[in-house]
Structure 1
Amino acid sequence: MAVTRNRIIYQSEALFVGSTPATGYEFSLGNSGDNLLKQIHGVQNVDYDFSTAREDVNQLGQLAAIDQIILTPPTVTLNASYVQRNVLNEQRLGLYVSGDQSAVKNLIDKTEDERNYYIFIAGEGQDAVGSNLGRVHAIGNGFVSSYGAQGAVGQLPTASFTVEGLNFVGYAEASGDIPAVIPSNGQRVQGVQFTMPTATSGAVGQINALRPGDISVDIGNAGIGISGLHIQSYNLSVDLTREAITALGTVFPFSREIQFPVNATMSIEALIRDIGPGSLDQILCNDQSYTLKVTVREPNCTGGLGDVKIAYELRGAKVDSQNFSTSIGPNKTVTLNFNGQIGGPQQTDKGLFISGSLI
């Protein structure tokens, strides 16, 4: 008889992502060979839900609806965040991390877009790390719909992402048919298996966390009326809003395509060191574009610069707004909000570019 569980806490869960496409195999040789499920390390939280929209069917002669029909399939949403160590998690989510092309290149050209997501749940009181025996919640046919990265003084740098999926499945064991559905008929994919690999605390040789003291932010000479900044925080965000592509005769959307244009935004808060010249009216004649750079390095105790673990570049960014704040007690601050559009795979002067180390 199965032991009744009283609760589930953070020690018992681990997040994994599958291969592309979502309806394909999760092993290198069909249902055998190397396991293609990859773990997202450093996870801080995972939230997932689904909702349905119903259409009332009414008719003359009756006050209440005679039925409530689901016209569109439910959308499953997964939100997660993790402490950053390198760009391995970003690569596993399908982002392009070589730095010479747009970070969303693989999502645009569909080479790394749709995949399944698995939340492994170990037994009560058991660490998920070191185990592959337990239960699973899984999201099928998932598409990344947003990505963000944050860093601040006194805080570990983190990243977050959102996934929109077509299906949700709960498993009593850590294996079974994959959660993906065939969009044309809405049926689960049959005969394609997954098995949860053993969860680990991190990849071999990987550091556990990066420090705010090893982060540098370069915004050039952006801003009006300021000549020096002590940067306190940054917040980078890319919303990849998805449009469900449907057709008569199909149960599920046969694709969820990114709606263009796509904007990447970055908000930077800083203490003002000094006041400099500048005038708002000059923007009309000289509206400059900027390249914003965030570099996160490995700690180096010898006094030199550590190896680059994560690097973001937002190219072709424009200043959207600039907010000064002064109050009794705190130092005078400024918040700069930038906006830049994502370009095509061949365009290298605009968009978000990610690079760094995979270990």
Structure 2
Amino acid sequence: MLNIADTLHRWCGEARPFALATVVDVTGSAPLPVGTSVAVDESGNAVGSISGGCVEGAVYDLCRQVLSDRGAPRRALFGYSDDDAFAVGLTCGGELDVLVQRIDPALQPHLAAALTDVVQGRPTAVAQMVAGPRDLIGSTLTVLSGDSVTHGALDGGPADKLVAEEARSLLRAGRTTRATVGGNGDGCPEPMTVLVHVHASRPRMLIFGAVDFAAALSQAGAFLGYRVTVCDARPVFATSARFPHADEVVVDWPHRYLERTEVDARTAVCVLTHDAKFDIPLLRLALDLPVGYVGALGSRRTHRERLRLLREADVAGDRLTRLRSPIGLDLGARTPEETAVSITAEIIAHTHRGTGLPLSRATGPIHRPLPH
């Protein structure tokens, strides 16, 4: 639902009832991920998309029915039709499990409060019950970054505690996904499945080395939604004018900056300095931090020498295997812009466990399940 948070927030502010259709499970190849929503108000206005177009009409009709019936939430499964490729279905071959429910903002003020948190940019996790006790289907509660439940409730007891723990964990990971809780002697006798919608702070891309490649990479990183920092010890090169797409430009020795800045499992560290006096202390630290990606620019000869120096600096072999060097995928890139595409393509593939192969030469689903 967070893909249309701005519109839903406005509709809640206007006390406008609407039907919310949310993808709660995906099987096989599907164009949009779990958590994507469409909403339709009582005037027939629609916002959002859940399939890139192929089942939108059927979902719209189902939303209108749920709005008029004022009944319990409904589930619908959409998949590929072998008999008629033009029938309602996913021509990409996947299946979508969709939950449709009626939302009356006057009766669910906690949802409006959650959407306020999202549109104001606060890290927020919204847990939506999708399977379990019938009277709780569609119920929501919200967890604000690191805090206890701030809005809404499921049962006012064990279920809220269990779901809040899952939501906090997924918020730290910055990932929207399903989670099953209960049924394990944990005070909640019946298993429940919740879909946790996560609005996290932007992941960080730390680019070390104020070079032409960094200018192109900072633009590509910003396009992908990263909060980009460019760091270099040379003030004549590390200027905002040279890196207009970076969120910040820092003049400092790279390893000193990395020691004091905040990183997490979504952080990408890209070392473009190509200078051992900067690279070695920086990589020695980066490879010991819980970041998602560490890559370094250079030729294969530079890479071999870099590994030798890192071993001399007592960096263990299991740490060295984390280093992506030479950085990027083999795209035949030559220009800074092409190299930036190569680097970001590798970051995407690493994040989502992709192979980096052409899809025409690979088998299996195009859209893989997100890593746990």
What range describes the TM-score normalised by the shorter chain of this pair? Answer: under 0.3
Q: Which has the higher strand share?
A: 1
TM-score normalised by the chain length of structure 1? 0.25
Q: Which has the higher helix share?
A: 2
